Amino acid sequence: MALFSISNSCLAIIGMFALSTAACASGSDDNNNVTTNDDDDSGTGGQTGDDDDSGTGGSTTAPPTYLYTFSEITDINAALPANATPVENDLTPDTKFTMDDQDGAPAESDAPSMKIVAPFSEFTSPDQAVDFQFQLEGAPVDLTGKTVIMYFKFDDGFVQDPTAPGGVIFYAKSGPDWNWGANSWKNLEVGMKGKWQKISFKLANAEPGSADKPFDPSQVMSIGVKIDTGEPRETPESQPTEGTFHIDSIGFVDDAPTP
């Protein structure tokens, strides 16, 4: 069960889904077939560091606190459109969010997880995207000194052109103005299909949406995911198609010690 449930009073939301949660150098987990993307934790922009929940240099840290494990339908229903007003080429309202009790991240909870089927169809301007968030109960929540984590899997469809891979952005919002703070863009390349990825970033290192709207880890309102086609760098070999993805075990751990 989610440790935080949804509260709608802080957002002017288009509406809640009936069934609704949400890559490129990586290394292997020690004992699971899951790759990790801890770019911000290692501070090397693409080099993979140790898992946040395994510690560094032989030390151990507290286990993750999971906000959403998608083991119950309430976790699926907690996904809300990220935008309070319609955005051109936002596919979120037409995306299907369901529980998949046959496919979960093996590193943590196995099955179930949240399955996402999004109607991507072409490169557009602005980009086609699916953008949703989970508002934290009791928000704002103080997550100072925390690293947020999630497990993500690109299954099929989406962008198949190797010259123009789409991507995923893991983010959070803070304060009364819901200021954006995000992890860097992660390519979702064809070679990643069918592989669970652990994506994480330190909230202290979150990239703000703008200089005049800083992100505050002590005032976290929500955690979100955006899946985006991006823009092709040249004439694409093919157009995007309906995409299938899975998300599991969104939560946080204490920041890893600085070496």
Question: From residue 200, how far is each of 53, 101, 170 by CA, in Å?
Answer: 11, 24, 8
Q: What percent of the chain is modeled with pLDDT above 70?
A: 74
The pair phi, psi for residue 219, each rounded to 5°, is -135, 50
> How much is the pTM?
0.78
DSSP state of 57: T
Beta carbons within 8 Å of 94's beta carbon, 6+ residues apart? 118, 119
pLDDT of residue 3: 41
pLDDT of residue 246: 97
Residue 86 pLDDT exceeds 90:
no
How many C-beta atoms surround the C-beta of residue 137 within 10 A? 14
Mean pLDDT, the chain, rounded, equals 80
12 by Cβ neighbours in 10 Å (0-12 / 13-18 / 19+) ranks as: exposed
CATH, range 27-254: 2.60.120.260
The rounded distance, in Å, linking the Cα atoms of 105 and 227 is 19
Residues 36-85 have pLDDT tens digits of 555 443 332 222 333 334 333 444 568 899 999 999 999 999 999 998 88
pLDDT of residue 43: 30
N-term to C-term CA, the chain? 35
